[in-house]
Amino acid sequence: MDFTFTEEQQAAVEAAKAVFADVAPDAVPSPALTPGAVADDFDRLLWARLAAADLLGLVLAPEHGGAGLDAVALCLVLRESARVLARVPLLETCAVALTVERYADPATAADLLPRVGSGDVVLTAASQGRTGHDAAELAVTARPDGAGWLLDGVQTAVPWAHGADIVAVPAHTPDGRTVLALVPRAHEGLGLTDQFSTNGELLAELRLDAVRLDRADVIDADGAWEALRDLLTTGTCALALGLGEAVLTMTSQYTGKREQFGHPVATFQAVAVQAADRYIDLRAMEATLWQAAWRVSTGAAGALPAAGDIAVAKIWASEGVRRVVQTAQHLHGGFGADTDYPLHRYHAWAKHLELALGPAAAHEEALGDLLAAHPLG
């Protein structure tokens, strides 16, 4: 693959930097000091600015008011958003919108997508399953019902659900297929129960009790859910990378100013070695991320299915972001445990991303199964 970004992708990064330039990561209270959620809604003002900068339609085709860019461009923008812990459903909205464009009924896409790009419609996805440890598509059943579909089941830990207009819910059919239902938040039969993430954000448990949808609101196409899941996962790796880079920069600045025995602690060999190890983690996270994003964008053939590249990216992202924030807290000394210092909030977000990606050991096992099924030699 070619790691050189196109002019359009670089322009998207510059636009994102301008939008996120004045976002303060420590403007939101620390989850450790706040009972319940740190806020009831996402940052609507920032959302409006993203819409004005045409970043919400980044991956949509021009006929839907978008820029027609790919998953690599989206991941570049997500990396910038994570540097400042932007509280917006950018990943979820863009990922669901792109899936709708590719797989939904054309009339549904033509009606919905221009409103997504303008910021008038917010999308999210239920991708954690019933418990967070089982397949999301098995948590809800979908069965044909006359001219539509009938859905029942539970999805947990749905991000931004209380503020979204539509939730994309994977569900399994009686004949073993997976469909993707576009459920309006206020739809009859859909109930939301408050849940709170590790980073203090408000999540929701979705309960679907005989939810009836028209056929146009259910994407019944092979590969739709898998494509959405892959894009959500790759985007989460991009968030982990951006967060980790911001934390390492913060650590470098602190250790360069903090003195002991008359010298900046950054000049001590033990400190420099730890920082160098984390830099290596971030470069590995970056390389594996772009490989996965490239495969998701192009569908390019390889010795392994794209799932192999995604598994490698997840291994490095989940392990790497944890190591980066742990080392940062250690090198910050007492400041690393100060809940009034921004690092504390970055640590909470890092833990949330690590849990969302899942344990590296599970991805290593999945990668081993892929290698066994697709020998490289």
User: What's the rounded mean pLDDT across residues 84-101?
Assistant: 98
Determine phi and psi for 3, rounding to 5 degrees. Answer: -85, 0
Which neighbouring-strand residues pair with 171? Answer: 179
Res. 53 pLDDT band, cuts 50 70 90:
very high
CA distance 347 to 186: 34
Is residue 9 within 8 Å of residue 73, measured between CB atoms? Answer: yes
C-alpha 308, offset from chain centre:
19
Contact 30, 339 (CB under 8 A): yes
How remote is the C-alpha of 25 from its chain's centroid?
Answer: 17
Q: Give the mean pLDDT of 320-324.
A: 97
Residues 6+ apart with CB under 8 A from 103: 180, 219, 221, 223, 224, 227
Percent above pLDDT 70 for the chain: 98
Whether the per-residue pLDDT at 2 is higher than 70: the answer is no
| Structural domains of the chain in order of their starting residue, each with its CATH number | 7-121 (1.10.540.10), 125-219 (2.40.110.10), 224-373 (1.20.140.10)
Structure tokens at 25: 């990561």
DSSP output for 183-239: EETT-TTEEEEEEE-TTS-EEEEEEEEEEEEEGGGEE--TTHHHHHHHHHHHHHHHH
Residue of 79 and 301 predicted with greater confidence: 79
pLDDT on residue 36:
87
Beta bridge partners of 124: 167
Q: What is the pTM of this model?
A: 0.96
Least confident of 29-33, 289-293, 308-312, 329-333: 29-33
Classify burial at 173, counting beta carbons within 10 Å of its beta carbon; exposed 0-12, middle 13-18, buried 19 or more: middle
Question: Do you know the residue count of the chain?
Answer: 377
Which residue is associated with the tokens 């206020």?
186
Tens-place pLDDT, residues 68-89: 999 999 999 999 999 999 999 9
pLDDT higher than threshold 80 for residue 1: no
Q: Are 59 and 71 in contact (CB under 8 A)?
A: yes
Tell me what the mean pLDDT of segment 100-116 comes to: 96
